[in-house]
Structure 1
Amino acid sequence: MDSNKSRSYHRPVWDDNGRFHFELTPQPKGKNHVSVCLVPPEKVIPVIFIPGVMGSNLKNEGSEVWQFSFRSLKKWLFANAEKRKKLLDPKTTMVDDRGKIVNDGADGKKFPSRRKRGWGCAFYKSYGEALDRLQYLLSDDDILTDNYFRKEQLQTARQRFTGVRIGDEQAEQVLTEAETVHGHRFLYPLHVFGYNWLQSNADSAALLGTYIGEVLEDYQGRLAVNKVILVTHSMGGLVARHYSEIMNGQENILGIVHGVMPDLGSPAAYRRMKTGERGITGIIIGDNAEKLMPVLAQSPGPLQLLPGTAYGPGWLRVEGSGSRQSLPLNDPYQEIYLNKTDWLRLCEQDLLLDDTQTEWESYQDRIKIDARKFIEELNGKYHPQTWLFYGVSANNPSDAYLTWKERPALRPALRPALQLVPVMGYPEPSSPTYRYDAGKTFELISAGTPGDGTVPVTSIRTTSPHIRGVLATNIDHEGAFAVTPVDRSRSVYSDLSDALMFTVRSVIKIVQQVPAP
């Protein structure tokens, strides 16, 4: 370098059209000055995040019904079954994009605002901070520019990931230096596809196709490739796969990263119908069958989370005095979901409200048409560039199977204190955990097997010619995309979860298909 030359570095300035220029100050000729313009990547590969069940904000007749706000959540504290069924009706609810957003202006003019990119659709408690961090990690090439203006040279997240192995994963999943360099040649605006998780995932998949078309149109002239990358959480993975593999959307998708996807369905869907939801979410959406069953029975989306045929037999067990039973033997739809007489059936007609016979017939159609067709048709089908992570911790007990376990008989005078559910005509009050049949009391017991607290390991298929990378890690279901690790002492980086690291790294692996601009 010529020591007689003065040198200045200039950052790119982005305009309203997503184009950049440089603002230079003229220098006298005699100063022999060199202005260095730091050219950023300019070709775009959009990344679209697809939330899970209960992960998109909903409204009904313009009013918030599912959003992380006091005004929304207070509606549920004292809501009875009738009100819940009315407010959470898939036919009258729609996506609400007015939710809270972290750092809306953080991306400047490089991309449209985060609200325009759909971030307001995402349920803030589950995704607010995660989306912000994910976008930061995908945009960490700014660090390379900033290094010209400071003495201490920092690494981008992708540079930190290079050569790093998470746990026992396969060596080919590790980023090489060349892959990292190639990944820095593109921009990755993060979008959110909010959808009505009460309606059929097939309907949501059709809307996803429309949304992908709109996103690609927004970046015409800037695209590195006329495709997007999808990042999904839980049920959002089923939406993405249905669009990709059943609706011929594969040609618009460069690759998919799935997080905690209930690939084969989960017995937890049965448990919710019979006992309500657990924890704080249960207080809101319904903590017993009387409150929650009328909502779920009318909602195709949650019903499509039930275990399909590929999950295998025997995940619903009955243990009584001197007897054992395991279902399904072959067909979970006929034996459990459409069963109208056995006390361990999925749906209680008497709890469906309104005209219960009409509601039962509609529920049957949802199982036969919406659930069965959707689940079985999707079995084993994946995009050719599929990457996925899932939870395997014993500290997040999950429902690989469920057991109706007989409890000791009680005197009739004590039964109301247990609040037994009415079964086969026994007029007992409702309860989230107990069943009473032919003089016997049964409690629904979770298996407590390893998983993420909702999806057990047995719900995940990890081998397929189309699955390129897999990470088994310690995460809980709702917080799968949490920013910080569950156990800092066992994570590769104490400030970043293995799941987020895997997600960003998988995006860069997927991008290797795209030629350098």
Structure 2
Amino acid sequence: MTTAERPLPAQQHVGAARKAEGFATPKQDKAPQCARMLPRRVLPIIFLPGIMGSNLRMSAARQQEMRRSDSIAWRPDVLGPTNITDAATESPAERQLRLDPLQTTVDIYDPSGPPEVSGDGRHSNVEIDKGFRSPLLVDDPIIVKNRRSAVQKARARGWGEVFFKSYGELLQHLESRLNSTFFEGKIRPEWRDVVGVDPQVWSADPSLPQKALTEDELKKVATGCWFAVYAFGYNWLQSNGDSAKIIAKRINQTIDDLNKSGYECNQVIIVTHSMGGLVGRALIHPQFGNLQDKILGIVHGVMPAVGAPAAYKRMRAGFEDPGMMENPVESIGAKVAGNFGDEVTAVLANSPGALQLLPSDSYGNGWLRVTHNGRDLEVWPKQGDPYNEIYKIRGKWYSLFLEEWINPSGLPPQDGGGTFERACEFLDEAMIFHRRISKTFHSNSYAHYGADRARHSFGEVIWTIDKNCADPAGWKDWPIITDTKQGTVQLVRWDPIIPNKALHPFVDRIPKPVHATILPPSTPGDQTVPARSADYQLLSGAFKAIFRQTGYEHQSSYKDPRAIAATLYSIVRIAQKATWRSVEERSCV
């Protein structure tokens, strides 16, 4: 015989926030059946991942064309029946077809669909840690009709739409911490890393001084309110402006559904990673998401605020691969995304969204350089126009687009086949997008990012010509002989000086091979986004707080304790601005 409490899950019910039902037990069972009713107020947290952080599926037509056994286009947690090695050895043509923005959509969870296509089988990447605690995401008892597990409830929140090995820890951390703040009137021990801590511990920039969060402030935010954590994937191949329009509809639907269920939900808080920050800014722009009144605030993590030169470097030299021993998650991502320039160009040159990660005109001048013997031969942009001064330059060995890499699949233009002209149209779209959101930041914005001198990033891209080339005259017009596709090109230097004219009376010029190489990154950042781009947020004057941090790599930023602490602090500060219509209730957490 036991007297332990038997928890009863409170189920959603038409016309009421929650409804709990007890069940019959043997007389010997004296355990009380207790249901914890959630407060009426709800403030959803919407997480937006970075580029390649959302899982995509391909159309049935493209799946058939590629003769694939499944429709997975991008799912770094599990790449379908083909393993990582197979995906990493795909040809550029296969990558272009698999990651076509016109033939892909977000892989959204649908419990009513086939398990291996849209249901639990497909979203098996979601796994709940043993120590995870949330009053919302718990297994239903066996007696509940249409019972769901905690994992299924998390999948319904979109957790399976994103790269879970990278973001799952954050999602669980936010869900657990925000809904477990106090117990029997005392603050839970896990909040001691945030409450009462000087924000300078997490590298808060002194130009925006922050006060430590108090217990009373946290209690006031948490009392009578709960925080449902969602993850919304988006098609990172498409324009971020288009993604914002789609995400805006999902946010509106989420708010409407919660209100129809008997809760009071007026606004949401957005938490972003990397490229998701651009989508978040577009969400509040009237020409894209137009949700400025329904977003209470935004927390930006490692956002390339004005783009990153790494996007140029990767289209010419592939993704940086740290190696399986140093960082297996990043190494797998690099191999699958493309270790070689032609593999990356085949995808990014045909992707409006990806091209929006290139440095914008707000990034400034002089970030692309060609040097010889330590001297600049040329730097671009000069006039603040990278679109025409760099990206659209055609037929040069230092061009962004090597045209033979754009359309390896050979698809005709009417079927989505890439051309130089179409890529330039995408660049025009990127320019318009960049300029529209250049000064668009939520009035209640917070940010954290890497400004680490030990985490070298491409703040600029430098091509250096061999020192053994005595005279680099005419270097702009040298043709490529060979290209490693990883940052070194062999060029033909036509030398007008003939060393032995008597032996070669009819030769005007003698070709000599010269190498040009992209130098390693050398500026502070997080190994992907340079501080120069992230600091645009600090210089904008639009943020409540900025945390300039060290110690983490870009993709893994939300695994860092200081980044998580800064995020929780920022969320609570944003939540303090919430206004409610309903009478304050006692928190159940």
Separation of aligned partners in 1, 2:189 and 2:35: 20
Please give the per-residue CA displacement for 1:457-504, whole angstroms capped at 9, x wherever unaligned: 10012144431111111221101111xx4xxxxxxxxxxx01111111
Separation of aligned partners in 1, 2:381 and 2:138: 55
Alignment match, 2:89: 78
When normalised by structure 2's length, the TM-score is 0.74
| Higher RCO (CA < 8 A, seq sep 6+) | 2
- Residue pair 1:59, 1:94 contacting (<8 A) in 2 also: yes
**Structure 1 residues 270 and 119: alpha-carbon distance in aligned structure 2, compared to 1, 3 A threshold:** same
**Structure 1 residues 358 and 269: alpha-carbon distance in aligned structure 2, compared to 1, 3 A threshold:** closer
**Structure 1 residues 199 and 75: alpha-carbon distance in aligned structure 2, compared to 1, 3 A threshold:** farther
What amino acid maps onto 2:238 in structure 1? Answer: Q
Q: What is the alpha-carbon root mean square deviation over aligned residues?
A: 3.1
Pair 1:66-2:120 in alignment: no
Separation of aligned partners in 1, 2:339 and 2:399: 19
Alignment match, 2:400: 346
- Residue pair 1:52, 1:233 contacting (<8 A) in 2 also: yes
Q: Following TM superposition, by how much is the alpha carbon of 1:162 offset from its aligned partner in structure 2, in angstroms? A: 1.9
How does 1:472-491 map onto structure 2 within 5 Å?
472-474=548-550, 475-482=552-559, 485=560
**Structure 1 residues 335 and 179: alpha-carbon distance in aligned structure 2, compared to 1, 3 A threshold:** same
Q: Following TM superposition, by how much is the alpha carbon of 1:310 offset from its aligned partner in structure 2, in angstroms? A: 0.9
Separation of aligned partners in 1, 2:211 and 2:242: 34
What amino acid maps onto 1:367 in structure 2? Answer: L
Alignment match, 1:206: 245
SS of the residue corresponding to residue 442 of structure 1 reads strand
How does 1:77-476 map onto structure 2 within 5 Å?
77-97=88-108, 98-99=122-123, 100-103=125-128, 107-108=137-138, 113-141=153-181, 144=183, 147=184, 155=188, 157-158=190-191, 160-166=193-199, 167=201, 168-169=203-204, 170-185=208-223, 186-220=225-259, 222-246=262-286, 247=288, 248-279=290-321, 280=331, 281-321=333-373, 323-330=376-383, 331-353=385-407, 354=410, 359-368=419-428, 370-409=429-468, 425-439=479-493, 440-460=514-534, 461=536, 462-474=538-550, 475-476=552-553
Structure 2, unaligned stretches of length 5 or more?
Answer: 25-32, 60-69, 109-121, 141-149, 322-330, 470-476, 494-513, 585-589
**Structure 1 residues 376 and 171: alpha-carbon distance in aligned structure 2, compared to 1, 3 A threshold:** closer
Separation of aligned partners in 1, 2:349 and 2:46: 30
Separation of aligned partners in 2, 1:282 and 1:161: 34
Separation of aligned partners in 2, 1:195 and 1:160: 32
- Residue pair 1:204, 1:239 contacting (<8 A) in 2 also: yes
**Structure 1 residues 96 and 459: alpha-carbon distance in aligned structure 2, compared to 1, 3 A threshold:** same
Alignment match, 2:41: 43
Identity %: 30
SS of the residue corresponding to residue 285 of structure 2 reads helix
- Residue pair 2:397, 2:479 contacting (<8 A) in 1 also: no
**Structure 1 residues 22 and 429: alpha-carbon distance in aligned structure 2, compared to 1, 3 A threshold:** closer
Separation of aligned partners in 1, 2:170 and 2:179: 14
Separation of aligned partners in 2, 1:312 and 1:128: 36
Separation of aligned partners in 1, 2:342 and 2:564: 38
**Structure 1 residues 346 and 20: alpha-carbon distance in aligned structure 2, compared to 1, 3 A threshold:** same
Q: Following TM superposition, by how much is the alpha carbon of 1:258 offset from its aligned partner in structure 2, in angstroms? A: 0.5
- Residue pair 1:159, 1:180 contacting (<8 A) in 2 also: no
Separation of aligned partners in 1, 2:458 and 2:392: 21
Please give the per-residue CA displacement for 1:260-315, whole angstroms capped at 9, x wherever unaligned: 00001111111111101121222112111121111110001110011111111001
Question: Which shifted more, 393-402 or 95-104?
Answer: 95-104
Q: Following TM superposition, by how much is the alpha carbon of 1:54 offset from its aligned partner in structure 2, in angstroms? A: 0.4
- Residue pair 1:399, 1:454 contacting (<8 A) in 2 also: yes
Structure 1, unaligned stretches of length 5 or more?
Answer: 1-7, 26-34, 411-422, 486-496
Q: Following TM superposition, by how much is the alpha carbon of 1:191 offset from its aligned partner in structure 2, in angstroms? A: 0.5
Alignment match, 2:52: 54
Q: Following TM superposition, by how much is the alpha carbon of 1:158 offset from its aligned partner in structure 2, in angstroms? A: 4.0
**Structure 1 residues 299 and 156: alpha-carbon distance in aligned structure 2, compared to 1, 3 A threshold:** same
| Number of aligned positions between the proteins | 471
Please give the per-residue CA displacement for 1:343-400, whole angstroms capped at 9, x wherever unaligned: 21111112223269961111111001x2111112111210111011001122221111
**Structure 1 residues 272 and 426: alpha-carbon distance in aligned structure 2, compared to 1, 3 A threshold:** closer
Q: Following TM superposition, by how much is the alpha carbon of 1:446 offset from its aligned partner in structure 2, in angstroms? A: 3.1
- Residue pair 2:350, 2:418 contacting (<8 A) in 1 also: no
Q: Following TM superposition, by how much is the alpha carbon of 1:173 offset from its aligned partner in structure 2, in angstroms? A: 4.6
**Structure 1 residues 284 and 13: alpha-carbon distance in aligned structure 2, compared to 1, 3 A threshold:** closer
Separation of aligned partners in 1, 2:478 and 2:57: 37
Question: Which shifted more, 259-268 or 224-233?
Answer: 224-233
Separation of aligned partners in 1, 2:304 and 2:527: 12
**Structure 1 residues 14 and 39: alpha-carbon distance in aligned structure 2, compared to 1, 3 A threshold:** closer
- Residue pair 2:57, 2:106 contacting (<8 A) in 1 also: yes
- Residue pair 1:206, 1:243 contacting (<8 A) in 2 also: yes
Separation of aligned partners in 1, 2:253 and 2:267: 12
Please give the per-residue CA displacement for 1:227-265, whole angstroms capped at 9, x wherever unaligned: 111000000010010121243210110110010000011
What amino acid maps onto 1:314 in structure 2? Answer: G
Q: Following TM superposition, by how much is the alpha carbon of 1:428 offset from its aligned partner in structure 2, in angstroms? A: 2.1
**Structure 1 residues 429 and 504: alpha-carbon distance in aligned structure 2, compared to 1, 3 A threshold:** closer
